[in-house]
């Protein structure tokens, strides 16, 4: 499956299913932020909170 096909498939899910994915993504972002991995990967130059705040 190409990236475009995968995006189309995800966009076609029900809102409830998409929100469940949003919740998983949010928990993952919070776990990564809490672990400090973002800070390490950014070399400590940028603010870790800003790095972990997706658009």
Q: According to the binding rule CB under 8 A, does residue 8 interact with other proteins?
A: yes
Is residue 10 helix, strand or coil? helix
The yes or no reply on residue 46 touching other proteins (CB under 8 A) is no
Confirm or reject binding of residue 7 to other proteins (CB under 8 A). Answer: yes
Distances (CA, A) of 33 to 9, 15, 22, 40: 29, 26, 16, 10
C-alpha–C-alpha distance, residues 52 and 31, integer Å: 10
Encoded one letter per residue, x for contact with other proteins by CB under 8 A and - for no contact, window 21-40 reads: xxx-xx-xxx----------
Q: Based on CB atoms, which residue is closest to other proteins, 25 or 42?
A: 25
């Amino acid at each position: 499956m190409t990236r475009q096909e995968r995006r189309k498939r995800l966009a076609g899910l029900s809102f409830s299913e998409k929100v469940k994915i949003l919740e998983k993504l949010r928990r993952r972002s919070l776990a990564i932020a809490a672990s400090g991995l973002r800070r390490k990967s950014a070399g400590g130059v940028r603010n870790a909170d800003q790095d972990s705040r997706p658009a």
